[in-house]
């Protein structure tokens, strides 16, 4: 007895007609009758009462019919859901971001992915940048979003999401607040707050390189305390209105009304990318990486 055998039995139970059931199952009436007889012999009880006028289920057959329906439905669901996993249409994904700011900036693309793939469970976690590559390689994180310079492993597949201009953030009481644009040269004597890149040495080198390309040295930052995230930076800039901060433009929605953003004249930007294992076990991870890089879906900032 196999799953197709149960389907034959169910069809006879639904039609109460061996000829019609056989036709709908694309087998002969003789084959259908023989199959039911073999089932009854294997089970040890009769499924149907047969007469020249009608076919009816026995009490045992009625009970078996109800259970068989559940078995076939669960089998079909198991096959369908398993195929969806293979196609990347179901399963679960653990995504990691460096802060709430990055997560909210990308939320339209996360939401678009979830809307088109409702059977995929998507979880978002904030993680220390220095831990990101290790967490992906060990399989504790399926996909992460951060600076591509920190994904320095041959085991990872990197996909660019977007480039974001850096801007200057300052208090509306600061002398820079009346400016629409400012040169990096103006920052050399300023007290600057920025997120610590000690945990991101490759990105620190990349940022310093951008300063050098404009003939400038990367300014020393004012460290009232180590700033580990953009959220902490926004808190510190409120405590130290005499300072300015260098931030990516996507922090715009989080800027308090007491502060303003000023464009930088030079080309000075931050690249954000996603990283996944080169051969993820869940195909849905590749699909999410594609969504995060889809420029047709606007980002929130």
Give the pLDDT confidence score for residue 57 in this predicted structure.
Answer: 94
Residue 114 belongs to a domain: yes
Question: Has residue 297 been placed in a domain?
Answer: no
3-state SS of 221-233 is ECCCCCCCCHHHH
pLDDT digits (tens, 9 = 90+) for 222-264: 555 677 777 788 888 888 888 898 889 999 999 989 999 999 9
Q: Which residue has the tokens 């600061």?
A: 174
Both 140 and 180 in one domain: the answer is no
Written as tens digits, the pLDDT of the chain (301 aa) is: 789 889 999 999 999 999 999 999 999 999 999 999 999 999 999 999 988 788 999 999 999 999 999 999 888 888 876 776 666 566 899 999 988 889 999 999 999 999 999 989 999 999 887 788 889 988 899 999 988 888 878 889 999 999 999 999 999 999 999 999 999 888 888 888 877 765 666 776 777 777 777 666 665 555 556 777 777 888 888 888 888 988 899 999 999 899 999 999 988 888 999 999 988 888 899 999 999 999 999 999 8
Nearest Cα to Cα of residue 158 among 146, 172, 148: 148
Which DSSP helix (H) or strand (E) runs through 116?
Answer: helix 107-116
Which of residues 36, 69, 87 is at a domain's end?
A: 87
Q: What is the mean pLDDT of the chain?
A: 87
CATH number at residue 241: 3.40.190.290
29: Cβ contacts below 8 Å, ≥ 6 apart:
18, 19, 22, 23
- Tell me the residue ranges of DSSP E strands in 116-214: 120-126, 143-146, 156-171, 181-182, 192-193
> CATH code at 13?
1.10.10.10
55 assigned to some structural domain: yes
> Residue 218: what pLDDT?
62
Give me the CATH number covering residue 124: 3.40.190.10
Q: Are 116 and 263 part of one and the same domain?
A: no
Q: Quote the number of domains for the chain.
A: 3
Domain that holds residue 136: 91-161+271-292
83 and 100 inside one domain:
no
Together in a domain, 264 and 278: no
pLDDT, residue 84, reads: 64
DSSP letter at 175? G
Do 95 and 129 lie in one domain? The reply is yes
The verdict on 275 and 260 lying in the same domain is no
pLDDT at 132 (0 to 100): 85
Distance between the two ends of the chain, CA-based, in angstroms? 60
Judge if 152 and 172 occupy the same domain.
no
The per-residue pLDDT for 233 is 83
In a domain, 298, yes or no: no
Residues 139 and 264 in one domain: no
- Nearest CA to 251 among 267, 239, 237, 240? 237
What is the predicted pLDDT for the residue at 219? 58
22 and 69 share one domain? yes
Q: For position 93, what pLDDT does the model report?
A: 95
pLDDT tens-digit series, residues 68-107: 999 998 888 888 767 766 665 668 999 999 888 899 999 9
Instruction: With beta carbons less than 8 A apart as the criterion, state whether 133 and 150 touch.
Output: yes
User: Does the residue 13 lie in any domain?
Assistant: yes
**Domain contains 300:** no
pLDDT of residue 216: 65
Domain boundary among 59, 87, 115: 87
Query: CA-to-CA distance for 30 and 32, rounded, in angstroms?
Result: 5
Q: Using N-to-C axis directions, what is the helix angle for 3-15 and 29-43, rounded to 10°?
A: 110
Query: Which residues on adjacent β-strands are paired with residue 91?
Result: 120
Indicate if 119 and 67 belong to the same structural domain: no
User: DSSP state, 220?
Assistant: P
Any domain includes 174: yes
Asked whether residue 279 falls in the same domain as residue 157, the answer is: yes
Let me know whether 144 and 185 are in one domain. no
Residue 301 counted as domain residue: no
CA 103-106-107 angle, to 5 degrees, is 80
Helices (H) and strands (E) in the chain, counts: 10, 11
């Amino acid at each position: 007895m196999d799953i197709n055998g149960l389907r034959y039995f169910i069809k006879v139970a639904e039609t109460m007609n061996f000829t019609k059931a056989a036709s709908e199952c694309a087998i002969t009436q003789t084959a259908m009758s023989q199959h039911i007889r073999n089932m009854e012999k294997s089970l040890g009880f009769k499924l149907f009462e047969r007469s020249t006028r009608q076919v009816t289920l026995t009490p045992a057959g009625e009970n078996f019919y109800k259970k068989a329906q559940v078995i076939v439905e669960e089998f079909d669901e198991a096959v369908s859901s398993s195929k969806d996993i293979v196609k990347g249409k179901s399963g679960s994904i653990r995504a990691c971001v460096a802060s709430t700011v990055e997560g909210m900036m990308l939320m339209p693309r996360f939401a678009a992915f979830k809307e088109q793939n409702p059977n995929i469970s998507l979880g978002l976690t904030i993680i220390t940048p220095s831990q990101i590559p290790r967490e992906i390689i060990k399989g504790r994180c399926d996909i992460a979003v951060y600076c591509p310079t920190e994904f320095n492993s041959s085991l990872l597949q990197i996909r660019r999401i977007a480039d974001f201009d850096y801007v200057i953030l300052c208090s509306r009481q600061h002398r820079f607040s009346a400016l629409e644009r400012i040169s990096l040269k103006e920052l050399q004597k300023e007290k600057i707050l920025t997120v610590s890149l000690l945990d991101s040495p490759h990105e620190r080198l990349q940022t310093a390189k951008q300063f050098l390309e404009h003939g400038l040295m990367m300014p020393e930052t004012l460290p009232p305390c180590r700033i580990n995230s953009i959220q902490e930076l926004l808190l510190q800039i409120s405590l130290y209105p005499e300072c300015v901060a260098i931030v990516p433009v996507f922090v715009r929605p989080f800027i308090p009304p007491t502060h303003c953003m000023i464009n930088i004249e030079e080309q000075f930007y931050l690249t954000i990318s996603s990283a996944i294992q080169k051969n993820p076990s869940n195909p849905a991870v590749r699909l999410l990486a594609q969504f995060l890089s889809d420029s047709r879906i606007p980002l929130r900032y």
